[in-house]
Amino acid sequence: MIASNACAIIVSFRPTEAMVANLASIRAQAQGLVVVDNGSDGESLERLRLASQSFEFELVENGENVGIAEALNRGVRLAIAKGFPWVILLDQDSKLTNGFVVSMFAAWQSHPMRERIGSMHPTYRNPETGLVPAVLRAEDGGPVASITSGALMPAWIFEKAGWFDSDFFIDWVDIEYCLRIRAAGYLVADTTEAVLLHTAGHPKRVTFLGFSFQPSHHSAVRRYYISRNRIAVFRRYWRVFPRWSMLLMYEAFRETVKCFLAEEERPRKLRSLLLGTWDGLTGRMGRRQGL
């Protein structure tokens, strides 16, 4: 069943054959599909070009990595220019379950305050473990913030809340935008009826001193952006949402501890964390060269 007014937006970066093949299932559930490529080359870019003809979707070739936030903005602008009143944002490795888009619209339709929803999110399930991550919830019952992949968003929210912050480049782009939606007086909601198969990072379960946990194993480069951008988010919103900011800060601290207890390349990741922390405190944003 096709949702006749939804355009899916995917940002690609050196996609594998499996990721490109996954576009067919996404295209089958949404009327429109825009793939914004962030500087892929060689075989991966040629795969996308061929797939755009086979699956009939718009391919935007940036020619360089402009970051996830700017790439999303370009995709959303194109979808809105084509007249779509809704967009669904997806990572290139996320997989839709059967009836995903229909279930997302049904969840929006049944929400008692649907006209105030700026972003509707699914339930996220790890395809390997089947685990569903815990969600920090607001007083209205919705998540305080959620990841971008799987988000169903009305076009009007970008007029009300603005575009994704390109200065973030990557990481915490979604959390910042969810808090911005809430600060503008709108809602972030979710549903258990739509399930997205999604894995954040490359989690591997480890045991340390009898405690079992799953570090994300993000790269040292990602560790820089995570460290910097979360400080930028805290600086922007701690006065508006003091309790949520403290809880997000606590979760960030726990995630950092897991990283340095069990991940590889710890010296390099420590350098990235310190550099990101310094840049976050001093307000240096945008893409960081030489990481």
Tens of pLDDT, residue by residue over 167-184, are 999 999 999 999 999 999
State residue 288's pLDDT score: 92
291 part of a folded domain: no
pLDDT confidence of 205, banded at 50, 70, 90? low
Tokens matching residue 238: 């701690």
Residues 177 and 250 in one domain: no
170: in domain: yes
CATH number at residue 163: 3.90.550.10
By C-alpha distance, which of 154, 172, 257 is closest to 208? 257
- What pTM value is reported for the model? 0.90
The tokens of 143 are what? Answer: 């998540």
Distance CA 250, CA 67 (A): 27
Q: Which of 5-14, 39-48, 63-72 has the lowest mean pLDDT?
A: 39-48
257-289 confidence digits (pLDDT tens): 777 776 778 888 889 989 999 999 999 999 998
Q: Taking a C-beta distance cutoff of 8 angstroms, is the pair 113, 187 a contact? A: yes
> Are 108 and 179 members of one domain?
yes
pLDDT band at 4 (very low <50, low <70, confident <90, very high): low
Could you give the dihedral angle defined by the CA atoms of residues 203, 199, 187 and 98, in that order, rounded to the nearest 10 degrees? -150
Domain-embedded: residue 106: yes
Q: Does residue 126 fall inside a structural domain?
A: yes
Considering all CA atoms of the chain, what is the largest pairwise distance in Å, rounded to the nearest integer? 56
Dist CA 74 CA 163 (whole Å): 10
Q: Among 148, 163, 172, 31, which Cα is nearest to 92's?
A: 148
- Give the mean model confidence (pLDDT) for residues 62-88: 96
Beta-strand pair 58-61/30-37: parallel
Q: How many domains does the chain have?
A: 2
Residue that is last in its domain, among 140, 167, 197: 197
Q: Express each pLDDT in 211-259 by its tens digit.
A: 565 656 778 899 999 999 999 999 999 999 999 999 988 888 888 877 7
Contacts of 112 (CB under 8 A, 6+ apart): none
Q: Give the contacts of 62 (CB within 8 A, at least 6 positions apart).
A: 36, 37, 38, 39, 71, 74
Q: Are residues 179 and 42 in the same domain?
A: yes
Q: Tokens 């339709």 appear where? A: 109
Give yes or no: residues 278 and 237 share one domain. Answer: yes
Are 103 and 226 in a shared domain?
A: no
Residue after which a domain boundary falls, among 197, 227, 260: 197
Kindly state the average pLDDT of the residues 79-103: 95
**Closest to 47 measured CA to CA, from 93, 74, 13:** 13
Domain stops at, among 197, 222, 254: 197
Range of the domain at 274: 206-282
Q: What is the pLDDT of residue 201?
A: 59
Q: How confident is the model at residue 1 (pLDDT cuts 50, 70, 90)?
A: very low
3-state secondary structure of 12: strand
226 and 170 co-located in one domain: no
pLDDT tens, 99-138? 999 999 999 999 999 999 999 999 999 888 888 888 999 9
Q: Are 45 and 124 part of one and the same domain?
A: yes
Q: Provide mean pLDDT across the span 65-91.
A: 97
253 lies in the same domain as 157: no
* pLDDT at residue 219, as a whole number: 86
Regarding whether 12 and 117 lie in a shared domain, the answer is: yes
Distances 128 to 55, 131, 197 between C-alpha atoms, Å: 27, 8, 9
Return all residues near 195 (Cβ < 8 A) that are at least 6 apart. Answer: 97, 100, 122, 123, 124, 125
Choice between 261 and 46, residue whose per-residue pLDDT is larger = 46
The 3-state DSSP class for residue 239 equals coil
Query: What does the chain come to in residues?
Result: 291
Q: What is the pLDDT of residue 31?
A: 92
Check whether residue 211 and residue 254 sit in a common domain.
yes
Q: What is the mean pLDDT of the chain?
A: 90
